[in-house]
Chain A
């Protein structure tokens, strides 16, 4: 998801000023990475240029921060297209973890050590996320849960792979 797409969704919910957009973005989409105002206005300028957003009203006093922006019909179509398109599961077919296991087996190093170190790293990250989740609101909890479920899936794969190392080593060295 791009910043522009998030802006379109926020503007579809209601017209907003740049300031309001930034804060709504930070709250719902940004979390660890709040937007700079520079990004807000360059994104809005691009959306205006491409006709996905219009200026809905300007309050007295001028200046870019006084403009209120609204989504156009083309912008709404963009939001719909974004939501219609499922995210690609391809990322899980390109595993850096798998590459490291193969690297260890190819070079006669310990793949078990690779898996153990990775497990430790994953578990530490999961403990940290769980701490964060417990102190957080519903949005924090769901974001942490998303990461936790993925790390958990990785861990299961690590355990599963640990039981297949002998066969894998034979295949790699053949």
Chain B
């Protein structure tokens, strides 16, 4: 396998008395899909947040493409997230007042791209997620599965190297969830993006190339 794109090593994180991470590791190679499973409260989301530079770990290192993420200042970290990473969460990530198309184009617009080219790219991604006919709909008019596919399109629009997905199908039934996974993994592979997929559902994790299990803030096996 190619060299690691992202290495998180020996991560520690405590919230007051609660130890969320106790020496957790995560390695992501370019273009691969890695599932992260484990019981509720085991530290999966915290691991994802630390690896993605959303949360600063108390100890351990995150190295992305040769850069030590923990050594970056807040501005640099947020630029890294915007340019290199995409995010999909369980719910509530689309702006309710914007159309699906505007939501997908938003990361490009925030990065200073003009409306026309941004919406052209957004349209192409909506098509890839089989949502062309929903471009003008607002989030409130979409089904749960369509909502998540818009979120996937938005996560991919800026050409990220890694998509971090935390329970992206957690609020969906199994048919809609699998549809999201099929489209997410196909689009990510086409775009050459790696995916870190946090899920408690083995059927969803089975869309990954390999998986890790987190238990009590550490990686099992």
Contacts and interface: CB of A to CB of B under 8 A. Distances in A.
B111 interface: no
B220 A116 contact: yes
Contact of B202 (A116, A134, A151): A151
B193 interface: no
A126 B221 contact: no
Interface string B194-211: 000000011101111111
Given A127-B208, A127-B209, A134-B182, A122 B202 contact: yes
B220 to A, nearest CB: 6
A interface, size bucket: 10 to 19
Contacts of B207: 127, 130
Interface in B20-63: 39
Given A120-B221, A159-B39, A126 B182 contact: no
A126 B205 CA distance: 9
Nearest to B211: A123
Most chain B CB inside 10 Å of its own CB: which residue of A122, A155, A163:
A155
A149 B221 CA distance: 24
B213 A130 contact: no
Contacts of B209: 127
Given A119-B213, A123-B211, A130 B220 contact: no
B221 A148 contact: no
A155 B211 CA distance: 14
Contacts of A134: 182
B213 A148 contact: no
B111 to A, nearest CB: 33
A123 B207 CA distance: 10
B220 A126 contact: no
A148 B39 contact: no
A163 B39 CA distance: 10
B221 A152 contact: no
B18 to A, nearest CB: 19
Contacts of A119: 213
Most chain A CB inside 10 Å of its own CB: which residue of B206, B208, B211, B221:
B206
Contacts of A152: 201-203
Nearest to A122: B202
B206 A129 contact: yes
12 contacts: A116-B221, A120-B221, A123-B211, A126-B203, A126-B206, A127-B209, A127-B210, A127-B211, A130-B203, A148-B203, A152-B203, A163-B39
